[in-house]
Amino acid sequence: MNHNQGHVPVQTSFPGDARQPGIVTTFMIASAMSVGANLVDVRQGRRSFSHALINGFAKGAVSTMIVSGPVPDTPVKVAGTIGLLAGAGYIIDSVMEDMGKEKVSA
């Protein structure tokens, strides 16, 4: 007797681009939050609007790459992911700040 008769196999992986909407949503949220925070600097004259957009999209792209990997399943992995996100944001801000200084001195 065939024990598999009448049973439908359960698919546990994502077919094709099934994860794509999640990645796009993550990118949009991360970028929008960063651009929104940057607009405070724009209003106070510390950053141009184009700089705010570029910075926000860069942070959105990097954070999307970081969080689209394997889901952290332990407190240590969650802390590591938070550290990666914070470090990436710091590096992006540092590089863009240096680029702004080069344009002013050029």
CA separation for the pair 21, 25 (Å, rounded) = 6
Q: What is the pLDDT of residue 42?
A: 93
Decide if pLDDT at 16 tops 70.
no
Tokens 């359960």 sit at which residue? 10
Bigger pLDDT: 1 vs 24: 24
d(CA 99, CA 55): 12
pTM: 0.69
DSSP summary character for residue 69? S
* pLDDT tens digits for range 59-103: 999 998 998 888 888 999 999 999 999 999 999 999 988 876 655
Q: In the structure, what pLDDT confidence band is assigned to residue 14 with cuts at 50, 70 and 90?
A: very low
Distance CA 55, CA 47 (A): 10
- 42: which 2 tokens? 């724009």
Condensed to tens digits (0 to 9), the pLDDT of residues 18-45 reads 445 577 888 888 899 899 989 998 999 9
What is the predicted pLDDT for the residue at 87? Answer: 94
